[in-house]
């Protein structure tokens, strides 16, 4: 029981921290978009990169809705494997995205952070959600 009582609040905290960092990047994405482009770029290139960043951040926010729904509904709140995976992924994302924000990394690197730190835990969350509500099985 001590493991569960420690994983639940830490999972919630790192999920919330990752969400706040993504919202901050969404508000200040101009520097990261400019870092993805050469010094002399056309407005069309800037608009294309900006749209790509908006799509990536929007999909990330959508996956947050999926994860928070599964977590707050209780489907995966006490699942140790999902809690550990989600905590590690979102803590790693928090650190990586802070570097992304402050060091003004190329926007293409966001997709790697997205794949490993947002999409992976959300996919497991969807699997758990489907297995509990769709197949009417007890959570793992």
The string of DSSP codes covering 77-89 is: TT-HHHHHHHHHH
The pLDDT tens digits of the residues spanning 34-52 come to 888 888 889 999 999 999 9
Mean pLDDT of the chain: 89
Over 80: is that where the pLDDT of 135 sits?
no
Over 60: is that where the pLDDT of 3 sits?
no
Give 104-110's long-range contacts (Cβ < 8 A, gap of 24+): 104/31, 104/32, 104/34, 104/35, 105/32, 105/35, 106/32, 106/35, 106/36, 107/32, 107/33, 107/35, 107/36, 107/49, 107/52, 107/53, 107/56, 108/36, 110/32, 110/53, 110/56, 110/57
Residue 110's pLDDT band (cuts 50, 70, 90): very high
- Please report, for the chain, the start and end positions of each structural domain, with discontinuous segments joined by +: 7-135
Over 70: is that where the pLDDT of 137 sits?
no
């Amino acid at each position: 029981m001590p493991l569960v009582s420690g994983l639940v609040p830490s999972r919630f905290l790192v999920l919330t921290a990752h969400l706040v960092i993504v919202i901050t990047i969404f508000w200040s994405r101009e520097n990261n978009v400019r870092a993805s482009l050469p010094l002399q770029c056309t407005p069309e290139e800037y608009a294309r990169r900006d749209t790509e960043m908006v799509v990536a951040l929007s999909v990330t926010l959508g996956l947050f809705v999926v994860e928070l729904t599964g977590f707050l509904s209780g489907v995966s709140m006490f699942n140790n494997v999902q809690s550990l995976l989600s905590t590690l992924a979102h803590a790693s994302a928090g650190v990586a995205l802070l570097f992304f924000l402050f060091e003004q990394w190329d926007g293409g690197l966001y997709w790697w952070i997205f794949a490993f730190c947002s999409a992976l835990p959300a996919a497991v969350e969807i699997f758990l959600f489907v297995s509990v509500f769709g197949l009417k099985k007890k959570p793992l």
